[in-house]
């Protein structure tokens, strides 16, 4: 009898916690940035042209933090290339903020794998910190009113991109 | 005599001024360090931003320093990071809401364990007698 009580008091809660934790997708954990106004920034492109987030008001924005030294970023690069081809015509803006990288490496990378977003440089990771970025790749979905409605950490999938852009276009 | 005295007063004044200036610079660095000590490095996770060699942590410390120079308080700076990263960015979460379990649960377990131990010892001694 006592053993059964011990089983329910100790083993069952541990199993319940494990069952809950292991069925969650860590990449879809809610971010503290979701639902907040996207912090504005003014960053330079590789050509030195200054671009601010505010200038895209009225358009949904896909904001990706990436680097050439990041393997998962290379894996999702193709997804964004395809995504840009489809959704840019519909008014979606694709921005890619380079995270702790060298200009020459970025230029070489884009020449080889294509340019799925307007590439912006971020001195001293100021914008990355302002968005709570802890590593790359991280993608923020910003609606036409400038509010972050989703943050995704990890390798982007075509399905997820389509679903989230659709959500932004219909808001 | 008067000239020598004036010279020493002048030197002492300069020494105080330079010392104060140096102390002022130090205090910003010290305060930045104190705040960075409370922030978890998002790259290394287990160590504070102040001890992390990662570029992001170093840039976070720079951000802390800049915010101090702009006149922001420690609380405002910590809130800035919590707003962006969530409460896990604090190495010591604030003792409120669900966070209280971190403080209360060990005490409850200790208390429960102690009571269980007393109960078991009492059972043993009863059996012996």
All structural domains of chain B with their residue ranges: 2-93, 95-129
Predicted local distance difference test score (pLDDT) of residue B22: 55
Predicted local distance difference test score (pLDDT) of residue A23: 81
Cβ contacts of B84 on chain A, cutoff 8 Å? 32-33, 129-132
Predicted local distance difference test score (pLDDT) of residue B127: 85
Predicted local distance difference test score (pLDDT) of residue A40: 97
User: Percentage of chain A surpassing pLDDT 90?
Assistant: 80
User: A154: which 2 tokens?
Assistant: 């990890």
Q: pLDDT class for B101, splitting at 50, 70, 90?
A: confident
Residue in the structure block whose two tokens are 């106004």: A37
User: B36: which 2 tokens?
Assistant: 């960075």
Cβ contacts of B86 on chain A, cutoff 8 Å? 31-32, 132
Q: What is the mean pLDDT of residues B26-47?
A: 92
Predicted local distance difference test score (pLDDT) of residue A73: 97
Nearest C-alpha in A relative to B42: A134
Q: How far apart are CA B83 and CA B90, in angstroms?
A: 11
- Give the residue ranges of chain A where pLDDT is below 50: none
Cβ contacts of A124 on chain B, cutoff 8 Å? 59, 62
Q: Could B83 and A32 be called an inter-chain contact, meaning their C-beta atoms sit closer than 8 Å?
A: yes
Predicted local distance difference test score (pLDDT) of residue B129: 73
A139 beta partners: A64, A152
The DSSP-derived string for chain A is: -HHHHHIIIIIHHHHHHHHHHHTS-GGGSPPTTTTSBPPP-EEEETTS-EEEGGGGTTS-EEEEEE-TT-HHHHHHHHHHHHHHHHHGGGT-EEEEEE-S--HHHHHHHHHHH---SEEEE-GGGHHHHHTT--SS-EEEEE-TTSBEEEEEES---HHHHHHHHHHHHT-
Average pLDDT, chain A: 93
Three-state SS at B48: strand
Q: In whole angstroms, how far apart are CA B40 and each of A89, A131, B26, B57, B117? A: 41, 16, 23, 9, 38
Q: What is the mean pLDDT of residues B67-95?
A: 94
- Phi/psi of residue A110, nearest 5 degrees: -70, -35
Q: Could A130 and B62 be called an inter-chain contact, meaning their C-beta atoms sit closer than 8 Å?
A: no
Nearest C-alpha in B relative to A124: B59
Find all residues with CB under 8 Å of A58, minimum gap 6, and list them: A144
Q: What is the mean pLDDT of residues B66-77?
A: 97
Q: How far apart are CA B80 and CA B72, in angstroms?
A: 10
Residue in the structure block whose two tokens are 């659709």: A166
Q: Could B86 and A32 be called an inter-chain contact, meaning their C-beta atoms sit closer than 8 Å?
A: yes
Predicted local distance difference test score (pLDDT) of residue B93: 82
- pTM for the model: 0.79
d(CA B31, nearest CA chain A) in Å: 20
**CA A44: distance to chain centroid?**
20
ipTM of the complex: 0.85
Interface residues of A toward B, Cβ cutoff 8 Å, are: 31-33, 36, 100, 124-126, 128-135
Q: What is the pLDDT of residues A93-138, one digit of tens each?
A: 999 999 999 999 999 999 999 999 999 999 999 999 999 999 999 9
Tell me which residue of A19, A6, A2, A163 sits closest to B123, measured CA to CA: A2
Which of A33, A65, A101, A124 should we substitute to test contact with B (largest number of B Cβ atoms within 10 Å)? A124
Spell out a b/e string for B91-121, using b for 16 or more CB atoms within 10 Å of the CB, else e. Answer: eebeeeeeeeeeeeeeeeeeeeeeeeeeeee
> Quick one: B2-93 is in which CATH superfamily?
Cytochrome C biogenesis protein (1.10.8.640)
């Amino acid at each position: 009898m006592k053993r059964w009580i011990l089983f329910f008091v100790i083993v069952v809660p541990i199993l319940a916690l494990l069952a809950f934790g292991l069925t969650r997708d860590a990449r879809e954990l809610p971010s503290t940035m979701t639902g907040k106004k996207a912090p504005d920034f003014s960053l330079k492109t590789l050509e030195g042209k200054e671009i601010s987030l505010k200038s895209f008001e009225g358009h949904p924005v896909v904001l990706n933090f990436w680097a050439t030294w990041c393997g998962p970023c290379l894996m999702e690069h193709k997804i964004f290339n395809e995504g840009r081809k489809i959704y840019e015509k519909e008014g979606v803006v694709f921005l890619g903020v380079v995270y702790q990288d060298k200009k020459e490496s970025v230029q070489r990378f884009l020449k080889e794998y294509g340019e799925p977003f307007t590439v912006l440089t971020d001195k001293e990771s100021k914008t990355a910190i302002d968005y709570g970025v802890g590593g790359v790749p991280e993608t923020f979905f910003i609606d036409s009113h400038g509010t972050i409605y989703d943050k995704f950490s990890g390798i982007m999938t075509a399905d997820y991109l389509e679903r989230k852009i659709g959500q932004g276009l219909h808001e | 005599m008067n000239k020598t005295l004036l010279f020493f007063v002048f030197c002492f004044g300069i020494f105080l001024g330079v010392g104060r200036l140096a102390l002022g610079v130090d205090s910003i660095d010290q305060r930045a360090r104190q705040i960075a000590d409370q922030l978890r490095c998002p790259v290394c996770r287990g160590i504070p931003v102040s001890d992390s060699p990662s570029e992001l942590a170093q840039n976070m410390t720079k951000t802390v320093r800049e915010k101090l120079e702009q006149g922001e308080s420690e609380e405002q700076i910590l809130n800035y990071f919590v707003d962006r990263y969530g409460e896990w960015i604090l190495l010591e979460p604030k003792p409120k809401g669900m966070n209280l379990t971190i403080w209360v649960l060990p005490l409850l377990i200790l208390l429960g364990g102690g009571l269980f131990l007393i109960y078991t010892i009492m059972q043993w001694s009863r059996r012996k007698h």
